[in-house]
Amino acid sequence: MVRGAREVTPYLRIAHLTKQFGAFTALDDISLEIHEGEFVCFLGPSGCGKTTLLRAIAGLDIQTSGRVEQAGRDISALPPTKRDFGIVFQSYALFPNLTVAKNVAYGLENARAKRAQVAARVRELLDMIGMGDQGDKYPAQLSGGQQQRVALARALATSPGLLLLDEPLSALDAKVRVYLRHEVKQLQRRLGVTTVMVTHDQEEALTMADRIVVMNHGVIEQIGAPLEIYREPASPFVADFIGLMNFVAGTMVRDGTVRLGQVELACEADGFAPGTAVTLAIRPEDIVVQDVRGGEPNTVEARVEAMIFLGSFFRADLAGPALGAATLRADISVDLVRRRGIAENHALAFRLPQERIRIYPGSPVHR
């Protein structure tokens, strides 16, 4: 569905969007296209501009310059009431003095709407969120998760072309959050509504989004599918923000070879002059400990400095003369630790797979 849509004009097009608050630049020349039916997450630390971008799309904070097009229509200067979107906030923003049913009906009631039609639509929406029997309750009588589902139903009541979610799950308990992630995603897929969600939670973005827009300091760092972002982070920022990453200092030997401590490692990087200082990055789970035989390329001998038990796996700090001053963290399964008898201060051989090593220009910044 998403693939097919790529060829036609995008549903939402943002071009050269800039937003300034006094001297502070919240958004710096943002350009982005979102396709019909797509679920896109704006992901980044607080203050990165993701919420500002969402509010610009909604018309709540009009941009300083730039253009927003929705369904081929220029909406850059339109007020929120003239745009076509539904919105859900972290705070739910349910009207406390109206019942669940009245909240959901809020956008449906106007001079032309027939009562029976409105009632039927409300029933349909409440059934959709699995709260068909709770229409007469007030928001204060519901749990946080239920309130957020009502807010979602209210936003979807008028069948908007675009659904905006501003950190919708951040105020909920961990378990409810995981459950609702799944439910929201299912609902979105069923309705096919184009959705933009703002979040600072990488796990949320990875599990829910078709594409993730990683933002930092008002600019887009990377746009891509979750796996792409995770596997091939375009910058150290993205690599560090999403998942866990080892960053160690290295030196380029020639194209395709990098030196780490005393070992030379094959990697997939070229274009760097020999002798250039680079940052070598690899995720802890990509370090291979199992079935390592000596003499294989990219194999390193080191020592287990420390081990922490994290439930389903151990995280080991690996260091040794071969690595120079660097320490690498590797994730080792509980089963493997038991079978191989891996323990602190034991020697350990491991492999850094060539295709998993990422090279970034410059020395690692201490984080």
Partner 1 sequence: MRALMGVIGLYLAVALALPLGIMLAKSFEGSGDHWVGTANYVQYFSTPALFQSIGNSLRVSILSTVITVPLAFVYAYALTRSCMPLRGLFKTIALVPILVPSLLPGLALVYLFGNQGLIKGLLLGHNIYGPIGIVMAEVFSTFPHAMLIIVTALALADARLYEAAVALRATRSRIFRSVTLPGARYGLISATFVVFTAVITDFGAPKVIGGQYNVLATDVYKQVIGQQNFQMGAVVSMILLVPAAFAFFVDRVARRRQVALLSTRAVPYEVRPQRGFDRAMLAYCLMISVFLLGIVAVSQYAALVKFFPYNLSFTLAHYDFDRKGGGGWGSYYNSIRLALLTAIVGTIVVFVGAYLAEKGRGFAAGRTVFQFLAMLPMAVPGLVLGLAYIFFFNHPANPLNGLYRTMTILVVNTVVHFYTVGHLAATTALKQMDPEFETVSASLKQPFYKTFWRVTVPVCLPATLDIGIYLFVNAMTTVSAVVFLYGPQTELASISVLNMDDTGEIASAAAMAMMIFYTNVGARALHAGLARCLERRTQAWRRRGS
Binding residues for partner 1, rule: CB under 8 A, are 58, 60, 79-81, 83, 85-87, 89, 91-93, 95-98, 106-107, 138-144, 154-155, 157-158, 160, 164
Whole-number Å distance between alpha carbons of 81 and 130: 29
Q: Is 81 helix (H, G, I), strand (E, B) or coil?
A: helix
Q: Which amino acid is at 312?
A: S
Distances (CA, A) of 260 to 145, 199, 354: 49, 36, 13
Shortest distance, CB of residue 138 to partner 1, whole angstroms?
4
Distances (CA, A) of 31 to 1, 210, 229, 234, 287: 23, 18, 18, 17, 36
83 vs 177 by CB, closer to partner 1: 83
20 vs 327 by CB, closer to partner 1: 20
Sheet of 347-351: strand order equals 328-333, 313-319, 299-309, 347-351
Greatest CA separation for the chain:
80
Shortest distance, CB of residue 178 to partner 1, whole angstroms?
21
Shortest distance, CB of residue 126 to partner 1, whole angstroms?
17
Shortest distance, CB of residue 107 to partner 1, whole angstroms?
3
Shortest distance, CB of residue 273 to partner 1, whole angstroms?
53
Shortest distance, CB of residue 117 to partner 1, whole angstroms?
16
160 vs 243 by CB, closer to partner 1: 160
118 vs 238 by CB, closer to partner 1: 118
Which contacts (CB < 8 Å, 24+ apart) does range 168-172 have?
Answer: 168/88, 168/89, 168/90, 168/197, 169/199, 169/201, 169/204, 170/90, 170/199, 170/200, 170/201, 171/90, 171/91, 171/92, 171/144, 172/144, 172/145, 172/148
